[in-house]
Amino acid sequence: MDTETRVGLLKPVGLFRSLNGAALTALAEAAREHVVPRGEAMFQQGDEATHGYVLAWGRVRLDQVTAEGQNIVIRHLGPGDMVGMVAVFRRMPFPATPVALEDCMALGWGAGRFAELMAAYPPIAQNAIAAVGGRIEELQSRLQEVATQRVEQRIAATLLRLANQAGRKTDAGVEIPFALSRQDLAEMTATTLHTVSRTLSAWDQEGVVDSRRSSHLVIRQPHRLVEIAGHA
Amino acid sequence: MDTETRVGLLKPVGLFRSLNGAALTALAEAAREHVVPRGEAMFQQGDEATHGYVLAWGRVRLDQVTAEGQNIVIRHLGPGDMVGMVAVFRRMPFPATPVALEDCMALGWGAGRFAELMAAYPPIAQNAIAAVGGRIEELQSRLQEVATQRVEQRIAATLLRLANQAGRKTDAGVEIPFALSRQDLAEMTATTLHTVSRTLSAWDQEGVVDSRRSSHLVIRQPHRLVEIAGHA
DNA sequence: CGCACGTTTGATGGACATCAAGGATTGTGG
DNA sequence: CCACAATCCTTGATGTCCATCAAACGTGCG
């Protein structure tokens, strides 16, 4: 892939907002391409954070396993999202494993090289803080959810969040454009696949969502979900 | 307070690590002092983030109220911690309210001025990212706890975390050096004060903690708490 | 004193995990 | 094209952790 194409990929990325052409070119030239086939991990939780990435195409699920072996889904990532950058800045091992849900391509930079680039182009750091701050807010709101809301509300909130981040509008409603098993949803909402299944079944029957027909879930009545999510 | 004293306060702050004297002096001169008496808030959740702060003395509890009026404790802050900085970077309203648990003093900077300083002294941005990354990790681990562990384990983990952040070693054990109501602990662990009370009562009787004698809780057998916290 | 506030402790119930078993869908090899 | 695994999903029965409801108890303070 040539530099120009890469610049085109980097331009709309939040992390690189308000950088001039020279900066983008420098970044593009320093980047290494990193192709990850569907189902594989970009790296493993616990690995040393030698490289940071920006996702160019595809979708990634960020998993974390607890000391006791339980799995929780931290978040989903799409094109333009940073992957592993925070760990690089902190010089700490990666705290989670990013698993490709589709064939993915990421651009990566070595830790040292990226630090140089960041020093040379200050807006990167500002953007990084803003991006990381966004994650904090999301985590805090999830913490609030798990702490104070019941399962049904959490599932609704999670579906809405996914729809916001990656939803595609169709005539039937909003479609979540990747496979999403009950197990996945359970790990996102801190519950079991059984409860998720029961809840979705009920919503299916009420016509709120369509989770049985295709492998991609469709939200048919977003306003109902909002209602459920907000109903203390 | 003169500039030199301020520089002394700023020097050990993580956010300003590896800054030279000139930078620290510039920061110290630009800072505004902000005294907050015990029990009052530094600012209110929802306020516009015009200033960011670094806590110089005292302890602060960071509260967030949900849309439904429930209160949850995000975290506790001590000397050297950033307060409201992330909101400033993001140009968003403050997402939480910091309440002084003791008489506090913070140094604050206006958003615009701080941005200038950050551009002039790049290490600040790097340190900020590292600090914010640390918060992310803490939030993720709390999310994991709330999602996968039971109340008793969460209370144990919370006490240990508080002891780590602010504990004082005494001959009787590790003391948590500020008042900590059952309600506070409940909001930190996502449970009710009733359950906290029951749990602490049990631990009191087993001699694991001493929560009844003084107003400051004392952990008498930290290893037992570690055991309880880790016991899946 | 008497009121306010935090705490303790008991009784009850409900939300949800767990246990259990069967059904649907997809892919694979004969 | 069918048999068969292998997954994933659904649905029922049971159990339990913990929230909720309720009431009494200490303790400090105006």
Per-residue model confidence as pLDDT tens digits over B29-77 = 999 999 999 888 999 999 999 999 999 989 899 988 877 777 888 888 9
Are A3-144 and A150-230 equal in CATH topology?
no
Element (H, E) at A87: helix A85-90
* CATH no. for A3-144: 2.60.120.10
Q: Quick check: B136 and A133 CB within 8 A?
A: no
In the complex, which nucleotide's C1' lies nearest to the CA atom of residue B195? D18
pLDDT of amino acid B166: 84
Tokens of A65: 């396993």
Q: Distance (Å, rounded) from C-alpha A74 to C-alpha A81?
A: 14
Q: Are A143 and B143 a contacting pair at CB < 8 A?
A: yes
Non-local CB neighbours of B61 within 8 Å, separated by 6+ positions: B73, B76, B77, B98, B99, B101, B184
In this prediction, residue B232 carries a pLDDT of 55
Mean pLDDT of chain A: 91
Q: What residues in B contact A133, CB-CB < 8 Å?
A: 86-87, 89-90, 92, 132
Residue B196 has pLDDT above 70, yes or no: yes
Looking at beta carbons, which residues of chain B come within 8 Å of A143?
Answer: 72, 74, 139, 142-143, 146
What are the residue ranges spanned by the domains of chain B? 3-145, 151-230
pLDDT given at position A125: 86
Average pLDDT of the residues in B86-102: 91
A chain contacts of residue B115, beta-carbon cutoff 8 Å: 126
Whether A69 shows a pLDDT value over 90: the answer reads: no
Q: Would you state the pLDDT for residue A232? A: 54
Nearest CA in chain A to B145: A66
CATH of domain B151-230: 1.10.10.10
CATH of segment(s) A150-230: 1.10.10.10
Asked whether residue A190's C-beta has any atom of DNA/RNA strand C within 7 A, the reply is yes
Tell me which CATH homologous superfamily contains domain B3-145: Jelly Rolls (2.60.120.10)
Distance CA(B129)–CA(B183), nearest Å, equals 32
A111 interfaces chain B, CB cutoff of 8 Å: no
Q: Which of A17, A73, A129 to mutate to test the interface with B (most CBs of B within 10 A)?
A: A129
Residue B141's pLDDT band, with cuts at 50, 70 and 90, is confident
Contacting A residues, span 125-184, partner chain B, CB-CB under 8 Å:
125-126, 128-130, 132-137, 139-140, 142-144, 146-148
pLDDT band for A82, please (50, 70, 90 cuts): very high
Query: Which strand C bases fall within 7 angstroms of a protein CB?
Result: 6-11, 15-20, 26
B84, pLDDT greater than 70: yes
Range B122-138 average pLDDT: 88
Phi, psi at B34, each rounded to 5°: -140, 105
Distance CA B99, CA B60 (A): 5
Phi, psi of B157 (to 5 degrees): -60, -40
